[in-house]
Each structure stands twice: as structure tokens, then as C-alpha cells.
Amino acid sequence: MAKKEEILDAAKKVADKVQQKAAEIAADPKVQEVVKAAKEKAAEIADKAAETVQAAAEEIKARAEKVAERSEVKEAAAAAADAAKAAGKAAVAAAKVMATPSEKNVKVITPKMAKIPEGPLEKKWTNYKDHQKLVNPANKRKLDVIVIGTGLAGASAAASLAEMGFNVLNFCIQDSPRRAHSIAAQGGINAAKNYQNDGDSVYRLFYDTIKGGDYRAREANVYRLAEVSNNIIDQCVAQGVPFAREYGGLLDNRSFGGAQVSRTFYAKGQTGQQLLLGAYSALSRQIGKGKVKMYTRYEMLDIVMIKDEQGEPRARGIIARNLVTGRIERFFAHAVVVGSGGYGNTFFLSTNAMASNGSAAMQMYRHGAYFANPCYAQIHPTCIPKHGDFQSKLTLMSESLRNDGRIWVPKKLEDAKKLQAGEIKGRDIPEEDRDYYLERRYPAFGNLVPRDVASRAAKERCDAGYGVNNTGLAVFLDFSDAIKRLGKDVVAQKYGNLFQMYEKIVDENPYENPMMIFPAIHYTMGGIWVDYELQTSVKGLFCIGEANFSDHGANRLGASALMQGLADGYFVLPYTIQNYLADQIGVPRMSTDRPEFEEAEKAVEAKIQKLMAIQGTESVDTIHKRLGLVMWDFVGMGRTAESLKTAIKKIDEIKKDFWSNVYIPGKADALNNELEKALRLADFIEIGRLMALDALNREESCGGHFREEFQTEEGEALRQDDKFSYVACWKYTGEDSEPELIKEPLDYEFTERKTRNYKS
């Protein structure tokens, strides 16, 4: 009898849940809004779907009650199952309405699936924190978390999780956590402190970020980012990060692109290094206490998935290669957090560190984590131009230089030609013959327009023949005015190390002659899709920092990557991961002898053996360089349907060539740099293709994604909000099949979508 009652009770609960869900779907303002905006037919389907759910729920509730009266337990259970099925079908139908009417088969991620909390924008994060599940201190000690990466995202996450009491296993490719790519960050980190009293606020930082990203980011996440930005500065100051200070001792700020306030905190031109030293100190403390076990010179080569009792796969560990010995090793954890950085090196030449790669992202993708907006790559306007065919790295000149430097090209074509021929220098051209084209085109923001706008404007001038170096692919960044206004000493104080770096590379004194700069690949806004909790579409697998699809939409504003990485690591993930781990406290540590680990390791070894066995004639770099050229020429600053189709074809050829003709010297079971690079290149090839595919799908121009077919008469980006206001999430479907597109519609509840205007 007790069992009968239990089943009846369970059936009733299911019915209640279904009813609740039905009511939620019917009442969801987003469903209502989309339904209203869609064609009449779509509205009918949505209403019908909601009605069906409600009707199914009502029916099952009635049936369950009736059955309960008659004690026909079996029937009650069957009825409950039927109702759940009906409700599921109806919910899917309702969700499909949100897709573009002509693409009803495309799956959609709803705000609920993205776990966006209810309530007003400014209350969402507080509400979330007030209601999330927590793990008590005794249970934290029972839980292990793997963190991949020791950049600002990984190091801050590892240190924070350990400080909270979890056991952390932290991995990085470098010989020290301090050498992660984040160390290269120069210009600064944003926060809405309003120390300058120039009108800044959390809302304004949120708004600038949404607008800067060309209305292609999730509002709730961006607001949270702006909200926690101030905590980051306090945390870093407490760690002793030597931010620049004003005469009175307060922290100083400078301006970055896309903002009309000064909100960028900085430590000379070495902000990333100083912030990383702060995070590293926090991490070292936990290493010392035994809460973080640090694995340097280890590269994750796969994630290990283990099914739970319900048959759902969960991330439960990794396979990693010891880069010094070549040994493949297995590691278990209750959750895996990946902060592996961006995939800009797909282009071969970029401002990223040489070891930056997209392989961890591809490993997640192959296990079912969606790859979101892969085509959103940032081209930074102020890099030292490429100077030869044997170059393997590009160098950034920080955006902070645009605070005082003025960008120009000659007004006269004959002057440009003389510059290109080396007959004159920039300083020889008189003021009246200089075209400060950013100030001319964008009077309100001038030299501080966002990066995508500045890069395209430089390309436009160079394409028109006004480029200023021997290749015609450079513009001037000139400090002569700033030196006159502030004096050389002040300029040197602010930017000295950058000027020195420029002089070392170009062999020209930038105090005397204007710097030459040109756009280069710098950052990837796209990345692994995460929900509001920073969890990927795979249970137990989290992604932070530049590796996730982030809060920057189609274009990142300067000084916002450090903010996002540290927000994720110090202030967001440490909360949200608990909501997941709270349900894992009963999961015991698992042996790495399990078949899932065995299989994953074997697959990794087989891939390595396959690569080593090729013994072809082309070096990894030769093939990578070829990929880079295809990416730059066909998936670069200006893209067309035709160029993207060509790119896909060429990348497929490169893939074939790579897998049949790459040459990797040395052995697999020893230190082998070429093998490391080959494994990464195999993934860059896949990412390059995914970028081209995504760019082809997105028939609009937004942020860093510029489709030449979609531009205004003045050459500005032309968005198609009615068709492309969504996050494009690509789902892996197998090695030789095209990925499936899933959309997360982006509704702007709290901001009005506008055409970006930096002119007035």
C-alpha cells in the first residue's frame, strides 16, 4: 500500500510539474513577445502549443487523481509518463516558434535553458546568488575540480576555488603559471568606479559593452560583468597589484575605445603581467597549502566523459600529455573548468602568444559543447605591420596609445607613394597634408572609436592607396602633438615600454617619427557556448575567460578581456559551480582505471601515432602558414559569400594535405615541440573551417564580422537584426559531417538596439 501511495504521489508531482511548466510557457513574456512579432501563423502554433501543454497537464492531473481514487497504480504511472511526453512535445513546438519562420527545424536555446535569472536586470545576479545551491565546507573537501589554464581566468578560478575549500588540479602548457598568454596584456582593465567623476556607472559600462559588441551579446551576462568590475579592482589592489596612481594617491584611469569616459585601470603598459602576478600569488598560496596541485608543462588532450545513473554524460576528468616526458596521464575530477584562452592563432600570424591554441575548445566541442559565434574574431588596429615572410608572430601596440596618439595617412597620393618608396618620412609631411581620417569620419569618438571601426577605416585608406610603409599596408600613429602638449617625459612615463618595444622591432625612434601600425588578428569573441552559470552544454564542463563565447558580442572593447577573465574566475564561477557541485557531493572519487579513461587514453594515443606515422615532407609551420594566409585573405577583415566558400574549399585541401604530408621529427614519448604544434594545428584547421562556415551563415555585418555585401553607403557595418539577432551555436555531429546550427535568440529587454554611431 505504501508503495502504491508513493507511486501515486510521484504521478501527482509529475502532473503538477507539467502544469507549472505549461503555465510558465504560456506566461513567459519572451514567448509572448516573439509570438506577437512573428507572423500570425507562428502565433497560432505557440498558443496551440501552450494550450496543449496546459490541456495535457490538466488531463493527467485529473486522471492521476481519478486513478488514485481507484488505486490503479499502474495506470497512474503510465498516465504520468504520457503526460510528460505530451508536455515535452508541446514545449518543443512552442520553442520552435522562436526560430525564424522559414527555419522551423532549427533548434532554439530559450532564456530558461541559458539559465538567465528572472527579474530586473540589476537584480538578476543578486537573486541568483540568493537562491543558488551551496556546498558546505565539509563537503567541499570531498570534491575535486580540474582547472585548465593559468591565465587570468584559470589562475583566478583555481585560486578562488581552492580558497573556498575545493581540491583543485590546475594544468598549463607553460613552465610556470606566470607565463600564460595573459602576461602579454598591455593597456589595462575596465571598471565602473567613476573615479574620474566623468559620468561613469555600472549601467554605462554595461551599455557601452552591449553597443560595442554590436548588440550581439546576452544582456544579463554583460550587466553582471559590469556589476562585478569594481570588485575586481578592489581584489587586485588588496593583492598588491601596482596600478598607476595620480598625484594624490588615487588610482589613475585612461580612456579606451568605444567609451566616452575614462574607466581603464592600468599598470604602465604591463597591466596583464601585474594582474597575473596578483593571481599567481593567490594561486601560490593555495599550492603551498596543498589545496591546488599544479601541473605545469602538461597539455590536456581530451576530456573524459562518464555517464551518470540517468545515462547522462558528465565531464569527470581529462587525459593530459606530460610535455617533458611525453607520457600520457589520466586525471579524475567531479567537474572540469576550461580557461584555455582564444583561438586567434588559427591565422598563424596574430598578436597571441605562440602557445595559444584552440585545441581544448575543440575537445569540448567534440564532446557536445556548442561552439558559439566562431566567426567573431577581433582585428586590432594598432599592431606593428608584418615585415617579412619568415615572421611567426605579430606585436601589438596597445590601444592605450590611442589616448594621445593621432592616426593619419597623407592626403595626397603622391606623398603616399614617396613614403612607400622610402623617399620621405612621416615627419616630412606638413600638417595641412595629413588626413586624420578617424577624427574626420567619427568626430565624437575620433581616435577612440572601437577596434573594428578603426581597423576597417585603416584598411579602407590602404586599399585606396594611401598606406605608408613599403608594402602600402600601414598607417601612422603620431605622438608629435602629445609630446608638444605634455612633454616627452610625460609621454615616456605613460608609454615608455611600448615605445622601447617599437624601436627594438622596427629600428626607428617613435618619439621622432610617427609609428607605423596596421590591423592584425588579436582576440576571439567566439568560443564555447556557456549558460549564465558558465556551464557548457555538457554537464560538469565549465568554460571561462577568452575560451568561452563571452560577453563581448561581435566586438570586444579594449580592456574588457582582463575584466571578463577575472570576473569569471574570481567572482562568477566560484558561485555558479556550486550550484552544480551541490548535487555531486554523493559522487565518490572514481578510479582512473575505469573503461572510460582507458578508451579516452587509447584514442589520444592512436591520434598521436597516426600523426607520427605520416612522415611527409612539409613542416607543421609551413602548413599552418598556408592556413593563416587563407584565413587572412578569405575570412579576414572583409568577407563575402564567395570568399568564404573558397576558404572552405581551400581549408579542406589543407586538411587533406596535413593528414597525408606533415612531417614530425622526433619521438612521441619524449619532449617534442613539433608534435605539440601538429596536434594544435589539426584543431586550428577544424576551427578555421568552422569560422568560415559561421561567417557564411551570418548574412550581415556586425562588429568584427564584416560581410562586404552588407554595408551602408558610407562603408559602415549593416546588421540584419530581424534575421541574425542570435548566438549561432554549432553542434558537432561527427568527423565528416557538417555541424548542426542551434540558435540562442538575443532579446533586448533593457536596451534599445540601434545602429552604432560614433560620429556624433
Ligand X SMILES: Cc1cc2nc3c(=O)[nH]c(=O)nc-3n(C[C@H](O)[C@H](O)[C@H](O)COP(=O)(O)OP(=O)(O)OC[C@H]3O[C@@H](n4cnc5c(N)ncnc54)[C@H](O)[C@@H]3O)c2cc1C
| Active-site residue, selected from the candidate residues 451, 461, 698, 707 | 451
Which of 300, 637 has the CB closer to ligand X? Answer: 300
**Whether the Cβ atoms of residue 541 and residue 367 lie closer than 8 Å to each other:** yes
Residues forming contacts to ligand X in the complex (CB under 6 A) are: 148-154, 171-174, 180-182, 184-189, 271-272, 299-300, 339-341, 351-352, 356-357, 359-360, 396, 398, 522-523, 545-547, 559-562, 565
In the complex, the smallest distance separating the C-beta of residue 684 from ligand X, rounded to whole angstroms, is: 12
CA atoms within 13 A on the CB side of 607: 19
In the complex, the smallest distance separating the C-beta of residue 278 from ligand X, rounded to whole angstroms, is: 13
In the complex, the smallest distance separating the C-beta of residue 107 from ligand X, rounded to whole angstroms, is: 28
The residues facing 165 across adjacent strands are none
Q: How far apart are CA 155 and CA 158, in angstroms?
A: 5
In the complex, the smallest distance separating the C-beta of residue 537 from ligand X, rounded to whole angstroms, is: 20
In the complex, the smallest distance separating the C-beta of residue 182 from ligand X, rounded to whole angstroms, is: 3
Q: How far apart are CA 553 and CA 273, in angstroms?
A: 26
Contacts of 606 (CB under 8 A, 6+ apart): none
Exposed/middle/buried for 31, CB within 10 Å: 0-12, 13-18, 19+? buried
In the complex, the smallest distance separating the C-beta of residue 681 from ligand X, rounded to whole angstroms, is: 14
Helix, strand, coil: what percent of the chain each, to 5?
50, 15, 35
Which of 49, 682 has the CB closer to ligand X? Answer: 682
Which of 149, 574 has the CB closer to ligand X? Answer: 149
Which of 182, 469 has the CB closer to ligand X? Answer: 182
Which of 111, 545 has the CB closer to ligand X? Answer: 545
In the complex, the smallest distance separating the C-beta of residue 616 from ligand X, rounded to whole angstroms, is: 25
Strand-strand pairing, 371-372 and 377-383: unpaired
Name the grid cell of 70: 481507484
Which residue's Cβ has the minimum distance to ligand X? 151
Largest CA distance in the chain: 100
DSSP 354: T
Residue 4, φ and ψ in degrees, nearest 5 = -60, -45
Which of 95, 303 has the CB closer to ligand X? Answer: 303
3-state secondary structure of 238: helix
Name the grid cell of 721: 537584426
Q: Which helix (H) or strand (E) holds 321?
A: strand 313-322
Q: How far apart are CA 546 and CA 524, in angstroms?
A: 7
In the complex, the smallest distance separating the C-beta of residue 213 from ligand X, rounded to whole angstroms, is: 14
CA angle 696, 697, 703 (to 5 degrees): 80
- Whole-angstrom CA distances from 396 to 187, 318, 499, 516, 567 are 10, 34, 11, 12, 24
Task: Measure CA 153 to chain center.
Answer: 11
Q: How far apart are CA 460 and CA 492, in angstroms?
A: 31
Is 245 among the residues known to form the active site?
A: no
Which of 326, 745 has the CB closer to ligand X? Answer: 326
Which of 340, 455 has the CB closer to ligand X? Answer: 340
Contacts of 257 (CB under 8 A, 6+ apart): 212, 399, 402, 445, 448, 449, 450, 451, 454, 557, 558
Give the residue numbers marked as catalytic. 451
